[in-house]
Amino acid sequence: MADFDDTFYQRLTVSGLAGGLSDMAAGLRILQDEGVELLPLLQAAFRVRERYFGRRVRVQVLNNVQNGYCPEDCHYCAQSANSEASIVRYRVKPEEEILAEAERAWQAGMYRYCMVLSGRGPNSERLGQMADLVRRIKARWPIEVCLSAGFIDRPMAATLKAAGLDRYNHNLNTAEGHYGAICRTHTYQDRLATLQSARSEGLEVCSGLIVGMGESDEDLWTVATPLRQLAARSIPVNFYVHIPGNTLGEVAHGLTPERCLRILCLFRLVNPDAEIRAAGGREIHLRALSPLSLYPANGLFSAGYLNVGGQSTADVQQMILDAGFAVEVVEEAD
């Protein structure tokens, strides 16, 4: 066991509880210093997580409402214009099918139902359709609803807010300085503007990243900090999974289970009161250490990630219970 000053872990906890770790040197030490042992680090992150969320875990299900046909060239994405990945492409699903999937999510005890549409952003007709679906879902089931539909401006955000949407998702994906290496058809600032529009109209913001795309440790830090400034209420931390045919290819990502857990701890300590979600690629990269992700993270996906499979809802819920945590559900209003 390495001889390490326990006060470092204490300082991490204190910083997290005081509003969030702001010391970049300490953040990089979490990722780089072999003397920072994993179990004390997880405990430091857990004390912050426990303050805001106890032992509750929010399980979310994704509904890929439209798959493929996207004009953007995001190098990591199987749905992008330049991808040669073998996926099933389809236009927007019938509304009754979308509603049935929302009902199944609620019946399975999901905390949140997220509708995802590929494409650059919705036109007025598609926006109206999505707003109507949100209204119908919220009228029928006590479940939180999130929408991910690409770039939107403030009037679009206002329409979705009026329909009852709880949260809008638009991931930053990586640091501004690394963005040109993963996409050419839009910029980091374009993504940031969408998040600012959503937040300005009163929508909660969900925004995260994909780690393992060739970014530096400094890049990870410079994604974690603007998410705190945006007051992102949910931060999905995805771990890169190469789908054959994607432009990005099989990068040397270095995503060991321990590395993934350290990254989750970093995001918890920088964003103490946000829902930190161990998202896409968790099963592949954390493997047997997946239950330890619940110490920094309080959110998980079940039943897959758009074009990548995942654990079944029953298996996810059992893992949560076996680890001594509890599945959180939305309470039905009187």
CATH number for position 237: 3.20.20.70
The verdict on residue 2 lying in a domain is no
b/e sequence 180-218, b meaning 16+ C-beta within 10 Å? eebbeebebeebbbbbebbbebebbbbbbbbbbbebebe
The verdict on residue 334 lying in a domain is no
Predicted confidence at residue 82, as pLDDT, reads: 81
The verdict on residue 313 lying in a domain is yes
pLDDT one digit per residue (tens) for the chain, 334 residues: 344 568 999 999 999 999 999 999 999 999 999 999 999 999 999 999 999 999 999 998 877 877 767 888 999 888 777 877 776 776 888 999 999 999 999 998 888 999 998 889 999 999 999 999 999 999 999 999 999 999 999 999 999 999 999 999 999 999 999 999 999 999 999 999 999 999 999 999 999 999 999 999 999 999 999 999 999 999 999 999 988 888 888 886 889 999 999 999 999 999 999 999 999 999 999 999 999 999 999 999 887 566 666 788 899 999 999 999 999 987 554 3
The count of structural domains within the chain is 1
Predicted confidence at residue 247, as pLDDT, reads: 84
The verdict on residue 1 lying in a domain is no
Predicted confidence at residue 305, as pLDDT, reads: 62
Kindly report whether the global pTM for this prediction surpasses the value 0.95: no
The verdict on residue 273 lying in a domain is yes
The verdict on residue 101 lying in a domain is yes
The verdict on residue 224 lying in a domain is yes
Task: Please tell me what DSSP assigns to residue 261.
Answer: H
Q: How far apart are CA 101 and CA 152, in angstroms?
A: 25
Domain span at residue 56? 7-328
Give the Cα-Cα-Cα angle 72, 67, 69 (nearest 5 degrees).
40
Q: Give 88's contacts (C-beta < 8 A, 6+ positions apart).
A: 67, 68
Predicted confidence at residue 1, as pLDDT, reads: 38
- DSSP bridge partners of 21: none
For residue 282, how far is the Cα from the chain centroid? 11
The verdict on residue 78 lying in a domain is yes
Residues forming the active site? 70, 74, 77, 114, 146, 206, 277
Alpha-helical (H) ranges within 141-230 are 154-163, 188-200, 217-229
Task: Please tell me what DSSP assigns to residue 75.
Answer: T
